[in-house]
A and B are shown apart, each in its own frame.
Chain A
Amino acid sequence: MTDPRPATPEVSGPRRSIWRNLSLVWLVPLAALLVTLGIAWQTWAERGTRIEITFENAAGVTPEETTIRFRDVIVGMVEDVTFAEDLATVVIGARVDANVAESLPENAQFWVVRPEVSTSGITGLSTVLSGVYIEAAFRPEQGGSAQNFRGLDETPLVRPGMDGTRITIRADEGTQFSAGAPIFLQGIEVGQIETPRLLERGNGVIVDAFIQAPYDRRITTATRFWNISGFSVNFGPGGLDLSVNSIASLIRGGLAFDTVVSGGQPVQQGYAFDLYENEEAARDSLFSETIANAVELTTEFDESVRGLEVGSSVTFQGLRVGRVTDLGAFIEDTADGQEVRLRATLSIDPRALGLDEESPQADTIAFLSEAVQDGLRARLAAQSLFNQSLVVELVEIPDAEPATFGIFAQDAPLLPSVPSDLPDVTATAEGLFQRINDLPVEELLDQAIDTLAAVENLADSDGLRTAPDALVGLVNDARGLIGGEAAQALPEELRATVAELRGVVEDLRAADAVGQLVAALEAAEEAADDVAGVTTEFEGVTEGVPALIEELRALTQKANTLDLEGFVASAGSFLDGANRLVDQPSTRALPADVSALLDEARQALEELRAGGVVENANATLASARDAAAAVEEAAVTLPQLSARIEQLLGETETVITGYSANSSFNRETVAALREVRSAAEALTRLARQIERNPNSLLFGR
């Protein structure tokens, strides 16, 4: 070592003891350790008690995120979500605040709150953002140390910790209520029902219900529950009755209850009530059931009791006094052999008979016994007109056969019954229905259909469519005709014509044409003898006579065969037809103007009938007048003709004389003369007829 070295080799500080050497800095890690341990202990202490909740599924539950809340305050956190050993359920492990865990009873309820939309409203909306949470509900109990719970699948309607009374309701079927349906007391919602469940035997439904305090004090053993779901329509003596309860109950269904009579006992939790169909049934059920000293009577019926059932009313003058408690058929030995009797047991409420509520049964029976001696009888009666339900009616029949209570059982005296008048009612109704049945409704309908079809066809036909126009035209024509001067002047002309005809006939008579004819014939007979010589000369003359005669006959025939009668008949039938048409209901139903038109037509036809066929008549009269004139002319010339005939006959006589009596000329002449005579007779007939009835020229009658 060549380096220079200082004199003092080592510098060392004073040596201190180990304790004095110990630095204060060690306090720092100590403090840090203490603080850390403190924090750790606090965390451990605060992490709460572990509980396990079993759920069907863990929808939405996330470890370390899903909280457990009690009264909406976070009291715990889900730690893990695992399966049960058999994978059948999900076990949710959670830490719950220690102070809460201390009060957690075994029946604490846990359920997962998630958004829910139901008829009752929307719940759990906040969980849409924050995620689901587990709600706990329990009634805190100190010292509770339960750690395993079974979670509910649904939000419970009634949470433990709510004050009120739990009851059970029995019903025939569960259609009328859904879980959460409200229970009303005089219109105020005081409770809820839970999910209905089937009875084990399957013959009914029970549902738990919860009535909140303080309304639960209104529930006694005399309380009756009834269904107010939806709405009800009643048609009865009081008219139409439509009752709708709250809209909510329309959707969810609902129950109502009331305690009508006093005297019920307070109920315990879980007391079971029956559900009645409606308020009326519920109130009716109150009778008899709450009375301890109701009297049981037995009565027997010979007739069918269809419609009578257990629970049917027993009425006295319309008042309900009891109900049927039992019904059955019994075989009874009688003198005629075995006989089936229908026996009903009636429970009579003494209060309804005006007796004291506390009166012993014996008193009531005695009272009834007296009434029976006075004629009180049981009888079946229809409950109402519209259904087949029967009630037992107690009636007083003063002239009933004397009877007393029979003895059927120790405390069920036999009340004599009388046949009801039910069958008559039924028979009457049946008869009525039979009669209605027998009405030829089908035929009537068919006919109506046919008629309508015919009317339709008629209406559719072109003829009918043009008919109104034609009718109007006809009516107008007729009106014009009737209004015309010619028609107005017609009567006068008729009178004149008739007068002229009469004159003609007078002339005819005065001229004594017949006598002259006879004379002429006689002269002709005479002349026939002389005629022989001039036979050839007179050939043409004799040929001319038959032609004249033919003309006369034709004229007469024409006058005779004027078809007035046919025309008038057809007009009459047309009128009748029109009349019938107008009388038909269908025609009446035609529009009013058509009716009016038809009326006009009828009037026109009436006028035609009355004044009638004026034009034709006019023409006819004109021709008749011509004919008359011709006849007159003929009548004027008749004497000349007669004279000429006479002369002719005189001449022919001579000719005929020259001929043998049996010659053919003679026979011809005789025939000609006969024809002349018949022509003359026809003329005479015509003249008479015209004289007797001038109208016949017009009407052919």
Chain B
Amino acid sequence: MENAGSAPPVLTARRAGVLGCAQCGKVHLPGPERCARCGSVLESRDHTSLQRVWGWMFAGLVVYVPANVYPMLRTSMLGKTTDSTILGGVVDLIHHGSIGIAIIVFVASIVIPVAKFIAIAYLALSVTHRVRLSPGKRQHLYEVVEFIGRWSMIDVFVVAILSSLVRLDFAATINPGIAAVSFALSVAFTMLSALSFDSRLIWDASEEEDA
């Protein structure tokens, strides 16, 4: 596999027989368990990283199911209570003609979380399997996933704000549904999953291939 566009082979810390602190970057000779400067655990590679990635991701997936199945919003208006799921809300918005908002909600609530799941799974798999994408691009993808993760919470924020603002008793009341909690958990789990990924593994794999 050609590493087109990727950095040229460099001497890594592991190859050099030293290990760098993941926190502060200080290079240590093998031996000490903890970083002499910041005290964090010194590991050449995080062997549990992939486990944690998968673990958090499964957790996120599990809670993502009820987040879509159960109602996100419970709207009571003049005695009429309407439950709306995420997808149902999108459909309602389309029916009401608010295509733009519908797209935003759809992207933020469906596309991004799903894309994150796929991206994380892809990255995790790329460590142990051969993939087409060059390590550089995978690193880039990883950074994007990590960056965008927090923005998935936009849905949860909307629900939280609506729930606290729209409290007009009989006239109109909005309550968060089970899905809101699930969704928040799902986002949190995927963020943790992304965080758990040791991006150095991307490069190890490519080096092994190169070697």
Contacts and interface: CB of A to CB of B under 8 A. Distances in A.
Contacts of B45: 13
Interface residues of B, number: 36
A39 interface: yes
A65 B59 contact: no
B165 interface: no
B66 interface: yes
B56 A25 contact: yes
Contacts of B70: 39, 43
Contacts of B196: 25
Interface string A1-36: 001001111111100100001110110110111011
Given A33-B62, A65-B80, 20 more contacts: A6-B16, A7-B17, A9-B17, A11-B17, A13-B47, A23-B55, A25-B196, A26-B51, A26-B55, A29-B62, A32-B59, A32-B185, A36-B62, A36-B65, A36-B182, A39-B70, A43-B70, A65-B82, A129-B78, A129-B80
Contacts of B182: 36
Interface residues of A, number: 30
A130 interface: yes
Interface of B is mostly: helix
Contacts of B11: 3
A6 B66 contact: no
B18 interface: yes
Interface of A: 3, 6-13, 16, 21-23, 25-26, 28-29, 31-33, 35-36, 39-40, 43, 65, 126, 129-131
Interface string B69-113: 010000000111010000000000000000000000000000000
B142 interface: no
Interface of B: 11, 14-19, 30, 43-45, 47-48, 51-52, 55-63, 65-66, 70, 78-80, 82, 178, 182, 185, 189, 196
B17 A40 contact: no
Contacts of B63: 32, 35-36
Nearest to A62: B80
A25 B66 CA distance: 21
B175 to A, nearest CB: 16
A32 B78 CA distance: 36
Given A11-B19, A23-B55, A25-B52, A32 B14 contact: no
A39 B65 CA distance: 11
A126 B18 CA distance: 78
B124 to A, nearest CB: 13
A130 B48 CA distance: 56
A36 B58 CA distance: 12
B128 to A, nearest CB: 15
Nearest to B55: A25
Nearest to B65: A36
Nearest to A74: B81
A129 B79 contact: yes
B22 to A, nearest CB: 13
B66 A130 contact: no
B13 to A, nearest CB: 8
Contacts of B47: 13, 16, 21
A130 B78 contact: yes
B14 A29 contact: no
